[in-house]
Amino acid sequence: MTGNRIYNFNAGPASLPLGVLAQIQNSFLNFNDSGMSITEVSHRSKWFEEVLNDAIARTKRLLNLDDSYHVLFLQGGASLQFAMVPMNLLPDDREADYVNTGTWATKAIKEAQLLGKKVNVAASSEDRNFAYIPKNIAFNPKAAYVHITSNNTIKGTQWASFPDTNGVPIVADMSSDIMSRPIDVKKFGLIYAGAQKNIGPAGVCMVIIRDDLLKLTPKNIPTMLKYTIHAEGNSMYNTPPCFGIYTIQLVMKWLEESVGGLANMEKINQKKGKILYDFMDKSGFYKPTADADSRSLMNVTFRLPTEELEKEFIKQATANDFGGLKGHRSVGGCRASIYNATNVEAVSALVDFMRIFQQKNG
């Protein structure tokens, strides 16, 4: 714990860089000498226009996006994207491949099917309770796109590398690991990410879409659900979530200027994951739920010998200022979310607490 702040391991809304929070605090009442809060300035003003364009520019630099990619900031979270993606990108005479790796992938499949779209579940890890990422998948070379969930917050799995789809564009829900590592963006036609896990507060979803997919948008869907409308309006067809975009801008600035880019961020994330997983593997007490080669560096899910011990672990952790360690209500157990903003010190402190708890209860 630092000051009056706890060690925050919540899965989302999750921790933000302390420097970003301090900058928000310092400018909240008078943003850039406007005499107004960022929550008060007009989205048509020069002040917000600068914020928006800088957020887009920094996102493009961090991910090495060229001009064929558009960065959008939308509302409705990743859950709305489960429907917007097939509405915009999947014609009725085409089929899309989906890989089912857990709760959020399952929901994405369901939304596409609700729209009457042709969905092929190309692979699934449901046979072992989504404890692994499928390999050697036979994708349809004629599919409109391949949909994956890059990191699974509930099951604690993550794609260590992205699949070869034979040129079919990947559509990825990257809500919980976007900006955590460099990616080969050429594989992706569309990336979407609810901000509240790794890049900002709740209330805004980042969407990155390539020109060729943007052109697939049909005319007969509601205006607010068209990617073309949001791209043409630079995310300002209607009033955007200004505060959320401002926070994302500051997080992108932190990643560029304080962390030094995504390659450095990946090294830090790998170090955090190694500290925590190595300790658990050697403990004989804490058991990660995901297969070793599919383990997430963002959401570390684990079990203790009994549910009673898990409840006591969470109770004592909370009393010692370690927050958010309870597993998702659908699976139980424990979960430590160690997103970008969670530093090595926090993970090391957690391991120290876990070691003491084991000594007393093992």
Phi, psi of 97 (to 5 degrees): -90, 135
Q: What is the pLDDT of residue 227?
A: 98
Q: What is the pLDDT of residue 66?
A: 97
Strands (E), the chain: 7-8, 69-74, 95-100, 118-124, 146-149, 151-152, 157-158, 170-173, 188-194, 205-210, 287-288, 299-303, 322-323, 334-337
Q: What is the pLDDT of residue 344?
A: 98
Q: What is the pLDDT of residues 14-32, one digit of tens each?
A: 999 999 999 999 999 999 9
Q: What are 57's two structure tokens?
A: 């520019």
**What is the rounded average pLDDT for all residues in the chain?**
97
In contact, 120 and 143? CB cutoff 8 Å:
yes
Spatial distance between the Cα atoms of 357 and 101, rounded to a whole number of angstroms = 32
Start-to-end Cα distance in the chain: 25
Spatial distance between the Cα atoms of 86 and 113, rounded to a whole number of angstroms = 9
Q: What is the pLDDT of residues 81-97, one digit of tens each?
A: 999 999 999 999 999 99
Query: Residue with structure tokens 């994302």?
Result: 248
- pLDDT range class, residue 2, cuts 50, 70, 90: low
Q: What is the pLDDT of residue 362?
A: 86
Q: Which residues are catalytic?
A: 104, 173, 197
For every residue of 77-131, DSSP letters joined together read: HHHHHHHHHHHHH--TT-EEEEEE-SHHHHHHHHHHHHTT-EEEEEEE-GGGTT-
Q: What is the pLDDT of residue 3?
A: 64
Q: Report the phi/psi class of residue 153: left, alpha or beta, with left for phi > 0 and alpha for psi in -120 to 50.
A: alpha
Q: What is the pLDDT of residues 195-207, one digit of tens each?
A: 999 999 999 999 9
Domains of the chain plus CATH, in order, are: 21-259 (3.40.640.10), 261-361 (3.90.1150.10)
Phi, psi of 34 (to 5 degrees): -80, -15
Cα dihedral 137, 142, 144, 146, rounded to 10, equals 10
Is the pLDDT at 250 greater than 70? The verdict is yes
Q: What is the pLDDT of residues 303-321, one digit of tens each?
A: 999 999 999 999 999 999 9
